[in-house]
Amino acid sequence: MPFTIAIDGPAASGKGTIARALASHFGFRHLDTGLLYRAVGAKGGDPVAAAQNLGPDDLTRDDLRTAEAGQAASRVAAIPEVRAALTEFQRRFARSEPGAVLDGRDIGTVICPQAEVKLYVTASDEVRAKRRAIELDADVDRILTELRERDARDAARDVAPMRPAADAVLLDTSTLSIEQAIALAIEHAKRAGA
C-alpha cells in the first residue's frame, strides 16, 4: 500500500515547503490541498459548482498565491458541499503510487486519518506574518491581521476545523531554519517507515 504523509498547519508555517521537500526526498507525489480551495475561490460564481467542475487548468492560474485568493479559499472551505466535492479527489491522490504527501488544514484529521505520518507544522503569528509579508512584498501588520482572521475562521468552522490530529507530531518552525525543519520531518517519516 502506498505511504501517505499528512501535513497540517496554518498559513506561512512552512508546511508547503516541508511537504515539497518530503515528496522530493522520498519520490512521492505532492498535493497542496489549499490550492484546490484557492482555485475554487478564485473561479468566482457558485463555489459548489466551481468545486464540482474544477479542472487541471484551474490549478495553474497565476493569481492563486495572492492574499486575496487565500482569503477566498478560507471562505469557500467553510462550505460543506465544497469540501465534499474535493474530499474524494484528495483521498484518491493520498493513496496513489508510489506514495503521497498532502498539505493543508484537515489532512490528518479528515482527509487521511489513517496516514502513516502526520505532522502539524506551526510557527508564531509574528514569524508567519513576517514570512508571508516578505513573500508577497506586503505590510507585515496587515498580513498579521489577515492571518489571525483566517486562522480564527479556519479553526472555528463547523466542518473540518483546522487542528492537529491527536497522533500528529508538532513541528514548531518559529526558530528553525528551513533546512532544520525539513531534516526533522524527514527523520520522523523515516522512523515511521517511509
- Binding site as annotated, residues: 9-17
State how far the Cα of 2 lies from the Cα of 91, in Å rounded to an integer: 12
Residues in CB range of 23: below 8 A, 6 or more apart: 29, 30, 100, 101
Known binding residues for ATP: 9-17
Residue 108 carries which side chain, given as an amino acid letter? G
Residues in CB range of 192: below 8 A, 6 or more apart: 116, 117
What is the sign, positive or negative, of the torsion defined by CA atoms of 53, 86, 17, 14? Answer: positive
